[in-house]
Amino acid sequence: MNNQSKKLKKKIFFIRKSFREKILEVVRVTRVSKGGKQIGFRSAVVVGNKKGMIGIGVGKASDFGYSIRKAIINAKKNICKIFFSEKFSIPYTILEKYGAAKVMLSPAKQGTGILAGGAPKVVLEMAGVSNAIGKQFGSSNIINNARATLNALKRLNNNVLDFGLLKKKKEKYFLKIRMSKIRKRFKKRFKRLKYIRN
């Protein structure tokens, strides 16, 4: 390994040291082979810094602790950035599907908190969204619901970066139109005055 790659790995480790982990579920899995039944564990973990950075990971191992460690490493590899509005809420309602799971997320006023249950609540909390309403439809699979919520947040990310910024842009655009109209009126008036004087 090069010195540069080692330095990069150290940097990534220190940056992601501030991230918090939350276990979604740990399930005991049995695999039947020639020798007999092999018991293992599958764990799902959500990792986030509550400032717009979040990732979901799944880990499988024969040991309980090792499966969780694997899930955390997987989640930290798949971290993505999420943007939300100035009031720490979602800018508009969105419906996302992942497999058989459907999730609907909608904005809420400041002080309402997160009105959601199960996986969506955990994902929204770890992302840093403090005011939102969530609803699950279809499948009750925890991993699918968590991934559906993350995909929904990503889609919001691509469509609108910040609802406040969008509003400001609209206001500026309308101001420009008003100013241009006012200028045109003044020009017409000045032309009339000049014609009358002459």
pLDDT tens-digit series, residues 90-131: 888 888 899 899 999 988 888 888 988 889 999 999 988 888
CB burial string 68-95: b at 16+ within 10 A, e below: bebbbebbbeebeebebbebbbbbeebe
Identify which has the larger pLDDT, 129 or 187.
129
How high is the pLDDT of residue 7? 47
How high is the pLDDT of residue 41? 92
pLDDT tens-digit series, residues 53-64: 899 999 999 888
Whether pLDDT at 14 is above 50: no
CA-CA distance, 54 to 131, in Å (whole number)?
Answer: 17
Instruction: Using DSSP, state whether 7 is helix, strand or coil.
Output: helix
Could you list the beta-strand ranges (E) of 62-107: 80-81, 94-98, 101-107
Structural domains of the chain, ranges and CATH numbers in brackets = 3-80 (3.30.160.20)
Average pLDDT over residues 148-176: 65
Contact criterion met (CB below 8 Å) for 169 and 138: no
Neighbouring residues of 77: CB distance < 8 A, sequence distance ≥ 6 = 55, 57
Strands 94-98 and 101-107: antiparallel
Read off the pTM: 0.69
Share of the chain above pLDDT 70, in %: 70
Average pLDDT over residues 67-86: 85
Identify which has the larger pLDDT, 191 or 121.
121
